[in-house]
Amino acid sequence: MNKQEWKTLAKVMLVSMLAVAVLLGLSLWLLLYVNRDGHAVMSFEAVLNLIVVALLALMFPLIHHGQARWLWHTQDMAPGQAPEWMSQKTAPLPKIVKPWPQRLLEAVLQLAAMLLLLWLFGPYATQQYLVDWTNAYQLSSGTYLLCVMVLGSVPIGALALLVHGVLRVCARRCDTDSLRYRLWRVWLWAYVLAFACCVYIILMLGMMMVRYLE
């Protein structure tokens, strides 16, 4: 590796170590806090799961923005010529003046995605139920991963169908070659992909917590 690659690797390792330290520190603090007198008892796994889900929910706008930049960067590339995901630097999205109803809608959609992640996966019982279900049928880890992909595809597929319908309505009212429509289309599909990314990360981490920490 060259000097720049070593620097990048060092930065990634430093950020990873800091993230793990912060995550464990928050988990221990919340574990001690919620298990005090007068509070509901929570296990370490439940606290860790809640913190992981909350952090991913808070990071959703950043993941969404990064995905939008990547889609804009690769939108004119042929499927076989597209580079590996996030393997190239991307330019900022073009700046346009958005009407306030669109800004409000985007803010509401992002908030809804964050709250939905917390509602679905914040309770540790969701992760336990999924793993208990696989254990009841004695499924292997590979089969469980396949089930995770299928189960995660249900809400993601429903969201994708909704976005497709919204874009069809917008295409009838707007110029599909306009910059505003193209940015809106990228924003919506990036929204679906960012939500999918968060769902799969949460499900994978939940499986590891239930199987290896309990």
Q: Name the residue among 19, 79, 9, 74 with its Cα closest to residue 52.
A: 19
pLDDT of 37 > 60? The answer is: no
**In the prediction, which pLDDT does 93 show?**
83
**What is each CA distance from 136 to 121, 127, 130, 140, in whole angstroms?**
21, 14, 10, 11
Q: pTM for the whole thing?
A: 0.77
**In the prediction, which pLDDT does 40 show?**
59
Mean pLDDT of 165-177: 76
| Size (the chain), residues | 214
Averaged confidence pLDDT in the chain: 77
**In the prediction, which pLDDT does 151 show?**
72
Distance in angstroms (rounded) separating the CA atoms of residues 90 and 175: 26
Residue 212 CB contacts under 8 Å (≥ 6 apart), including other chains: none
pLDDT of 96 > 80? The answer is: yes
pLDDT of 107-127, one tens digit each? 998 999 988 888 888 888 888
Share of the chain above pLDDT 90, in %: 1
**In the prediction, which pLDDT does 92 show?**
81
Distance in angstroms (rounded) separating the CA atoms of residues 167 and 84: 26
Distance in angstroms (rounded) separating the CA atoms of residues 100 and 123: 35
Residue of higher predicted confidence among 20 and 59: 59
Dump the DSSP string for 37-96: TTS----HHHHHHHHHHHHHHHHHHHHHHHHHHHHHHHTTS-TTTPPSTT-S--PPPPP-
Q: Name the residue among 159, 205, 190, 15 with its Cα closest to residue 85.
A: 190
Distance in angstroms (rounded) separating the CA atoms of residues 49 and 210: 10
Q: Which helix or strand (DSSP H or E) is residue 153 part of?
A: helix 141-173
